[in-house]
Amino acid sequence: MTLRHFLADDDLTPEEQSKILDLAVALKADPTARRPFDGRTVAVIFDKSSTRTRISFEVGVTELGGHPMIIDGSSSQMGRGESISDTAHVLGRNVAAVVWRTMGQERVEEMAANAGVPVVNALTDEYHPCQILADLQTIREHKGATQGLTFTYVGDAANNMGNSYALGMVLAGMHVRLAGPEGYLPDPEIVARAERLAASTGGSIDVTTDVRAATEGSDVVVTDTWVSMGMAYEGRETVFMPYQVNHELMSLADPEAIVLHCLPAYRGKEITAEVLDGPQSRIWDEAENRRHAQKAVLTFLADAADISSDR
């Protein structure tokens, strides 16, 4: 038995990531083929708002044979100051896995260090690794493979999506270009980690303020809100408007390029309605694939921990 967690994209090897995506495809074709949580409960805790993550985990855990226990973090005793480690011990005595959307990455790390069951990051300020698996599944569906493709992320390249794309897409062998305004580019530590991964996957990472150069000939063009949960809106529109994904920017990408957005989207801000709702957009497949990809990662973690024998 190996206790594994999924807290950041590079918690997986390239081979493991690929295996999970294969399983996600199989589970999309046959949603109840695997039931690793039969008779067990998975805690799904939200300290921030959610539509897709909540829906996909609640339905997904049910399809895996388990009971999803959705918890509003602010209504738990953690909201009144009970420690993460005490909460983790109690969760670990009762549930088969913990899925948590919260603020700082150190919070999910503390949960993982103390729960004794697999912990999945359902978005922190620093990473959103479940979203990246869904995006990869979508790219595989529409492009056949990920290896060697050019992937461009435009906008707030210092946020959780920027970090996770840098790591997760390089892990999948893609040439990743992150374009954002000065002051909104990823931490050098993230870039260094992506560069180390690139050496073994054949991918690459480039960071730039030049949005046009970053989009030129790209196979996948992606953006995210300019104002992530917990951030202040003030002044951001002026800084980010040159990084809007619109028809003119898309004319620079490969003619067969697809467009992704993790959602929620703000039409007329980070992306125009004509692109988001246009023929190159694959956002509804992407949103659906959250469920399949997360079921695959939960199954991978359950198999590693051998939870079916842990009754």
3-state helix/strand/coil string of the chain? CCCCCECCHHHCCHHHHHHHHHHHHHHHHCCCCCCCCCCCEEEEEECCCCCHHHHHHHHHHHHCCCEEEEEEHHHCHHHHCCCHHHHHHHHHCCCCEEEEECCCHHHHHHHHHHHCCCEEECCCCCCCHHHHHHHHHHHHHHHCCCCCCEEEEECCCCCHHHHHHHHHHHHCCCEEEEECCCCCCCCHHHHHHHHHHHHHHCCEEEEECCHHHHHCCCCEEEECCCCCCCCCCCCHHHHHHHHCECHHHHCCCCCCCEEEECCCCCECCCECHHHHCCCCECHHHHHHHHHHHHHHHHHHHHHHHCHHHCC
Query: Catalytic residue among 5, 47, 131, 177, which?
Result: 131
Residues within the interface to ligand CP (CB under 6 A)? 50-53, 123, 131, 262-264
* Contacted by 51, from ligand NVA, ligand CP, none: CB < 5 to 8 Å by type: ligand CP
User: Cβ closer to ligand NVA: 37 or 57?
Assistant: 57
Output the residue with the shortest Cβ distance to ligand CP. 53
User: Cβ closer to ligand CP: 40 or 295?
Assistant: 295
Short-list 28, 94, 101, CA closest to 63: 28
267: annotated active-site residue: no
262: annotated active-site residue: yes
Q: Per rule CB under 6 A, is residue 228 in the interface with ligand NVA?
A: yes
Q: Per rule CB under 6 A, is residue 160 in the interface with ligand NVA?
A: yes
Report the nearest approach of ligand NVA to the CB of residue 164 (Å): 9
Going by the annotation, the residues of the binding site for carbamoyl phosphate are 50-53, 77, 101, 128-131, 262-263, 290
User: Cβ closer to ligand NVA: 219 or 224?
Assistant: 224
Is the alpha carbon torsion for 32, 36, 41, 42 positive or negative?
A: negative
Query: Catalytic residue among 128, 140, 193, 292, which?
Result: 128
101: annotated active-site residue: yes
Output the residue with the shortest Cβ distance to ligand NVA. 228
128: annotated active-site residue: yes
User: Cβ closer to ligand CP: 14 or 68?
Assistant: 68
Which of 12, 95, 117, 161 contacts ligand NVA by CB under 6 A?
Answer: 161
Going by the annotation, the residues of the binding site are 50-53, 77, 101, 128-131, 160, 224, 228-229, 262-263, 290
- Residues 239 and 235: their CA atoms lie apart, in Å, by 7
One character per residue 207-226, x = contact with ligand NVA (rule: CB under 6 A): -----------------xx-
Query: Catalytic residue among 101, 193, 261, 291, which?
Result: 101
User: Cβ closer to ligand CP: 131 or 159?
Assistant: 131
The residues binding ligand NVA (CB under 6 A) are: 123, 128, 159-161, 224-225, 228-229, 262
Q: Which residues are catalytic?
A: 101, 128, 131, 224, 262, 290
